[in-house]
Amino acid sequence: MAENNQNAMAGKAPAKPKPAAPVAAKPAAPGTAKPAAKPEAPQSGVYKPPVERADTNPYKDSRVSALGTWFQERFSVMIPVIDYLKKKEVPQHRHSVWYYFGGLTLFFFIVQVLTGLLLLQYYKPTEAAAFASFVFIQQEVPFGWLIRQIHAWSANAMILMAFIHMFSTFFMKAYRKPRELMWVSGFVLFVLSLGFGFTGYLLPWNELAFFATQVGTEVPKVAPGGAFIVNILRGGEEVSGETLTRMFSMHIVLLPGILLIILAVHLLLVQVLGTSAPIGYKESGRIKGYEKFFPTFLAKDAIGWLIGFAVIIYLSIISPWEIGVQANPLAPAPLGIKPEWYFWGQFLLLKDFSFPGGELLAIALFTTAALLWVLVPFIDRRASREERSPYFTLFGLFLFVAFIVYTFRVFLMYY
């Protein structure tokens, strides 16, 4: 029975096929082609062609020194930038010397940043400790007096170079098409530089700075909405320790942050659009030639930086800025209060317009002149057509002479 059951179950299972006997492969007849391989079935989905990716370091096979190879492997993205700078050229003519003042302005700004960071290690922006920290820097910190003097003198040098650079650019009509935005960004940088001077003036918290800030922040009150601006600057109704804190924060955080963004835009435009020659110089053949920006022009610029730094060191030693007397808000204002020299023109114009409503008129004149100045590239159509525009030249000459005359008048009044 068991045997019959096993046979029955075996009958139900499918029979296993017998393996085929191996057959020897027949050799192909001579001269007959082999059959082509069967093509593979295409994969399902969207066809994507192979992507050829660029080498991350296309300069790895260039013949340079071991140090140069090390830098190329890590900073190969900068090599096209350097090659571009090598191709950039600066025109040479009798007014080429004015091109160097933009670099000098940038150099003194860098000096400001470096010396400011060093001073920041010891300065305390409080009403109780600000003046004492300046005295400590001046008298106790090794070479603190020199760092403080370099910071003060380089601030004035930076604004002076910015003045020269702005007026030389204007008279050479370098603002004309397509450099309108270069001019606008440069004007914004100039205004920010003045803001650095104004906010940094109060930081020593001495008597002169305290009352000069009180007078300076009082000016916007006569304009519509000026009281709101004054409250923001002062942090209250009067100049106090809160004002010192706000000036400090604007001086080291707000203004530098905005300036670095605008400066990056300005330098990018300078590199992309190149250096402008005065109107008619190319056509009349008054351009003597062109020199490479890198390294020829940049090397000459660096020589100017070294000379400028030597002058700053010299002035810091022979004519140091005094610390003065600690500010006392309850004391009467001393005689002879005035702002820094770059605000003398506005300061004296406000004094000349001391009649009723005169201060508002003076502020309106400031604002109108500034708006016309920044919009000159969009108004001066003749310069954009490479034609002379004598009326705009006279406008710039009038502002320049007015600034010089008013500044000299203040100098005669107080010195």
The predicted-structure confidence for 371-389, as pLDDT tens digits, reads as follows 999 999 999 999 999 999 9
Tokens at residue 239, please? 């100049």
Q: What is the pLDDT at residue 47? A: 66
Beta bridge partners of 89: 292
Tell which residue, 165, 177, 163, has the closest CA to residue 99: 165
pTM of this prediction? Answer: 0.82
Rounded Cα–Cα distance for residues 392 and 380 (Å): 7
Question: What are the pLDDT digits (tens) for 194-241?
Answer: 999 999 999 999 999 999 999 899 988 888 888 899 999 999 889 999
Residues with pLDDT less than 70, the chain: 1-45, 47-48, 51, 53-64
Rounded Cα–Cα distance for residues 220 and 346 (Å): 12
Q: What is the pLDDT at residue 293? A: 86
Other beta carbons within 10 angstroms of residue 130's beta carbon come to 23
Rounded Cα–Cα distance for residues 114 and 99 (Å): 24
Which residue carries 């270069």 as its tokens? Answer: 182
Q: What is the pLDDT at residue 59? A: 60
Q: What is the pLDDT at residue 2? A: 46
Q: What is the pLDDT at residue 376? A: 96
Domain boundaries, the chain: 83-325
- The CATH number that domain 83-325 falls under is 1.20.810.10
Tell which residue, 108, 110, 57, 96, has the closest CA to residue 80: 57
Tokens at residue 62, please? 């260039």
Beta bridge partners of 290: 91
Segment (H or E) for 81: helix 79-87
Beta bridge partners of 401: none
For residue 303, how far is the Cα from the chain centroid? 22
Amino acid in the structure at residue 218: E
Q: Are 99 and 90 in contact (CB under 8 A)?
A: yes
